[in-house]
Amino acid sequence: MITTEQLHQLLLLADPEARAAQYAAEDKDFINLAVAENVLIFDYLKEQVFGSLTPLVVGETKYTRNYGDDELRTQTARLFSDHFGFTVPPNWIFGVGGVSAALECLAFSLLAPGDEVLVPAPAWQGFRWCFEQRPRCRLRLFTTKNHQITVKDVEDALKAYPNAKALVLTNPHNPLGINYAKENLEAIYDLVLKRTKLHIISDEIYALSQTVGVSPAFVSAFTLDAYTRATADQRARVHMVWGLAKDFGLSGFKAGFIVSSSQKVHHAVGGKAPDKEMAWFTPMDSLKQWAVKQMLSRTDGGRLVTTRAMERYRVRLTEARGRVGAELVRQKLPFKRDSSAAQFFWLDLSAWLGRAPDSGAALYPEIDPQEERLAAWIRDEAKVGLLPGRTLSNPVSGWFRMCYTATDTDQVLEAVKRVGELLHGGEAS
């Protein structure tokens, strides 16, 4: 249990995931599955890259291009070609200090204070700070009827918010753990590019977190027919962000990328006199570039380490999801069954709303009190951290996001068992 002073300090943190991480750091027996992180591939990356980094030379301690040198941008373009299926010039790619920074850079580049940004809910809570805190845009959340966003959902959102200037789509989805269907994306992009002036920002940070046989398959924005057949001006309104935090499990690196053909983005992020480049404020610094370029260039048995890493990751992700899903069934904990992308199980614990005792220590006081009490009960008694759905703007209470890649799979299984035994009074297992 935490003290009143500890709780006070935690509540100074705006981000619920940051609160969960800080709380977990105080208790070695706590299993934190509330934070979206990935440990499944680190052993291979350590063996092939991070255990044998070349020594720093003096040039790598000096100022470098803040959005990535030519070598890094070329390597990243090759990665997109190999794994995402699209080819872009390296000068469309800008490295910055994480995907959150990439989103904020796009907001500053494309939007003005007061502009409305459409986001389907539930959604990552960080969009709020990326678009609202400093850019002073206004997030407009809208719900979809069946989680697979359709062109009708977007049309309805545009009617509700006719002055919107951008649409943000997270694909694969956080927290639902699904890929958007290609036919739906084609219709949405066709609508937005041909009949509106909106920008589309495709957040593809979980793009390579795909289990074997996932359906529908992941489709990147830049591979859509609606994009490739569009005019140059229309294509300049499509922007993609991706980073190393999720697929490669390097969240602490804070290494993100913007991909865009827009000259407005190029000038804002890369610089155009008299203004300093935005990447100067959130750089892909020299130490990041030193490490990341080695990861992107290393080979193992004649093939790129990144290629082998993603092959291993897909197998491990599939195995982990299968084992954890089986344990959830065993513990009689309901979850969304058609989600097998990204790194989450979307748990439906609504049956236990109103049954949890009042712990008196609300880590998420901004959400529905019943959902908060359930989260606190699981946290304090099972010693497991789950992220309440209301922190992710889920329209109904009782859903929780569980990241099954945040720690080793045996630990995740132990966490699921603890939650099942708590909620079922020891009967489920």
pLDDT digits (tens, 9 = 90+) for 151-185: 999 999 999 999 999 999 999 999 999 999 999 99
Contact 117, 164 (CB under 8 A): yes
pTM: 0.96
**Confidence check: pLDDT of 427 > 90:** no
- Could you report the per-residue pLDDT of 374-422, keeping only the tens digit for each? 999 999 999 999 999 999 999 999 999 999 999 999 999 999 999 999 9
- Could you report the per-residue pLDDT of 81-105, keeping only the tens digit for each? 999 999 999 999 999 999 999 999 9
Domain 56-297 has CATH 1.20.120.80: no
Residue 358: the pLDDT is 86
Q: Residue 303 pairs with which residues in a beta bridge?
A: 300
The number of CA neighbours under 13 Å toward the Cβ of 158 is 18
**Confidence check: pLDDT of 426 > 70:** no
Residue 428: pLDDT band with limits 50, 70, 90: very low
How large is the average pLDDT for residues 57-75?
97
Residue 139 tokens, joined:
């997030």
Residue in this structure with the two tokens 């890493």, named with its chain if needed: 309
In the chain, domain spans: 4-41+306-423, 56-297
Q: Residue 93 pairs with which residues in a beta bridge?
A: 259
Residue in this structure with the two tokens 């009190």, named with its chain if needed: 369
- Could you report the per-residue pLDDT of 40-63, keeping only the tens digit for each? 999 999 999 999 999 999 999 999
Amino acid in position 118? L
Q: State the architecture of 4-41+306-423 in CATH terms.
A: Alpha-Beta Complex (3.90)
How large is the average pLDDT for residues 52-81?
97
- Could you report the per-residue pLDDT of 312-370, keeping only the tens digit for each? 999 999 999 999 999 999 999 999 988 889 999 999 999 999 999 987 689 999 999 99
